[in-house]
Chain A
Amino acid sequence: MKLKDYLQDKWILIMAICLFSLYVGVLFGLYNVPFFIIANYYLLLCLLLVGGMGYDYRKRRRFYRHLNQLLEQLDEKYLVSELIPSSNFLEGKLLLNTLRITNKSMKENVNKYAFSMEEYKEYIEMWIHEVKTPLASTRLIIENNPNETLKSIDEELDKLDMYLNQILFYARSSYVEKDFLIKELDIRKIVQLALKKHVKDFSVKKIQLSIEDTVGHIYSDQKWLIFMLDQIINNAVKYVSHQPKIKIYTTEEAQSMTLHIQDNGIGMPSRDLERIFEKGFTGENGRIYEKSTGIGLYLCYKMAQQLGIQIYGRSTVGEGTTISLSFPVSDMYFKEKKT
């Protein structure tokens, strides 16, 4: 609050006092009041006016300055009403009161949405589990009656299954409430489990596979991690070129372990690479080659954030793409997060 603003705000009061003083001055002149008394009167008036307004100004300035500081320091600005000190002037009290009431009503509103989102998530999870039963029976029917038509239906079911998993993990990763279980995991085992789903691609497209130096233990959630690797491998086998090769290996740093999934596929330009983790981004490759939803890697990124994994990619057009996941090697990360 600047002095100028304050004075502008009080201009009616100041004008009234000035007019009144002018009027008193005229009266003084008419009744021939001695100069000494006039001077005394105006001096006193000025002192009282300046002193009184100055005190009032300083009080308000201190309050609003404090408020502004709090606003600047807080990440969650809406908490400011909980922190404002009580003030001893009317506007301050009114402001505080209004803020508290609006805040409370906003909280109720937010809770209502949080609740309906939670309900929605539960419905989605239930629905997916519901759908998996007919899917399971379909698979068994196919297995029991092997022929070419059913085999081709089975391949479509694989895709359906993958999309269902995407929704499931989309619902799970969107919530603050943690849905995962951190355990010590053998990274090689996890890679193998994720690879198994893609055996058909490796066989049909004759992709050369090398799993080198994939050793070590990390702390993470098995289901989430397999889902993430599933998405990454899915991309690697999708955008293959001639004589396709996929190489999976780890490198170790002081506090972390990094898993690399490297392909020699078509690669992508750097302007696309920057955006691969964005929701709905498909890039040139996604549009030209096969249908892509732009959800897989976005989910990976979101889940990685929750699991404390750093995810990044490197790519050269015509040479291939490497997606890397950097894990914390100790479980300290999760212990710190809890406290």
Chain B
Amino acid sequence: MYKILIVEDNEKISQQLHTLLQREGYHAEIATDFQNIVELVLNINPHLLLLDINLPYHDGYYICKELRKNVQLPIIVVTSRETEMDELMSMNIGADDFVTKPYNVNILLARIQNLLKRAYPQTQQNILTYGNMNLNINKSCVSCQDQEIELTKNEFRILYFFMKNSGKVVTREELMTYLWDSDVFVDDNTLTVNVNRLRKKLDSVGGEPQIKTKRGVGYSI
């Protein structure tokens, strides 16, 4: 399990981030002693650091620079300042990514996931299983028993999202937001077409359980 350290002086935000990250399956820790952040990071040794810029004692830029002298862990700078200059500054001092407040939670999670994937490539799981279906992430195809069928980029994304949210009802809005966040810009019509095509493909290889349509709400698997 990945360990993420939250360095943020606003207690509410750090608490909520903690809840969010724990829910997403990360082990999150909150820094409370802002005087010795650098030592703290070295002690805890997290897989990833979420770093606010405006902090008591030392600002995030200083901490980032100090950390970069010793360690290579991925750092995401979180700030409410958002000009191009601030972004450039964060990159110059060695931050890996830059997220502005108020953040879109999906984007924040996607960035965390991407950075972790890049920084620790070998530990990545590349087969997702649900029912009798195995979704191969690297090959973007799905297999049931002995049969295998290739998926298009859109179909793969949709199935991936369904599997991640298995057991829940996924609204069309949530599905579309997820797709757009991963740079797949489908509109409402195309979404229906894609889901239907995916359904047919899964049927053809006998995938269980089927994708169910919840009228007026969305889908569930």
Residues of A within 8 A of B (CB): 129-130, 132-133, 135-141, 143-144, 157, 161, 179-181, 183, 192, 195-196, 199-200, 202-204, 206-209, 211, 221-223
B84: CB under 8 A from chain A? yes
CA A208 to CA B189, docked complex, whole Å: 7
For A208, the chain B residues whose CB sits under 8 A away are 187-189
Within 8 A of A (CB), among B8-40: 10, 12-13, 16-17, 19-20, 23
Tell me if A203 and B188 are in contact (CB < 8 A): yes
Q: Nearest-CB distance from B55 to chain A (Å)?
A: 13
Cβ-neighbour of A144 out of B19, B83, B173, B186 (below 8 A): B19
B62: CB under 8 A from chain A? no
Tell me if A204 and B173 are in contact (CB < 8 A): yes
Q: Nearest-CB distance from A241 to chain B (Å)?
A: 16
For A136, the chain B residues whose CB sits under 8 A away are 13, 80, 101-103
Q: Nearest-CB distance from B164 to chain A (Å)?
A: 16
Cβ-neighbour of B177 out of A139, A141, A203 (below 8 A): A203
Q: Which of A195, A196, A204 has the most C-beta atoms of chain B within 10 angstroms of its own C-beta?
A: A196
Tell me if B80 and A200 are in contact (CB < 8 A): no
Within 8 A of A (CB), among B55-98: 80-85, 88
A137-B188 contact, Cβ under 8 Å, with A196-B180, A196-B181, A203-B173: no
Mask: chain B, 174-190; 1 = CB below 8 Å from A; 0 = not: 00110011010111110
**Interface size of B by Cβ–Cβ distance < 8 Å?**
31
CA A143 to CA B183, docked complex, whole Å: 22
For A202, the chain B residues whose CB sits under 8 A away are 176, 187-188
Q: Nearest-CB distance from B192 to chain A (Å)?
A: 10
B172: CB under 8 A from chain A? yes
CA A196 to CA B185, docked complex, whole Å: 9
What 15 new A-B contacts, CB under 8 Å, besides A140-B19, A203-B172?
A129-B81, A133-B80, A140-B13, A141-B12, A143-B105, A144-B16, A144-B19, A144-B20, A180-B83, A180-B84, A192-B185, A200-B173, A208-B187, A208-B188, A221-B84
Cβ-neighbour of B13 out of A133, A183, A211 (below 8 A): A133
Tell me if B185 and A209 are in contact (CB < 8 A): yes
For B186, the chain A residues whose CB sits under 8 A away are 209
A133-B101 contact, Cβ under 8 Å, with A181-B88, A209-B185, A223-B84: yes
Q: Nearest-CB distance from A90 to chain B (Å)?
A: 55
For B177, the chain A residues whose CB sits under 8 A away are 199-200, 203
For B13, the chain A residues whose CB sits under 8 A away are 133, 136-137, 140
Tell me if B102 and A181 are in contact (CB < 8 A): no
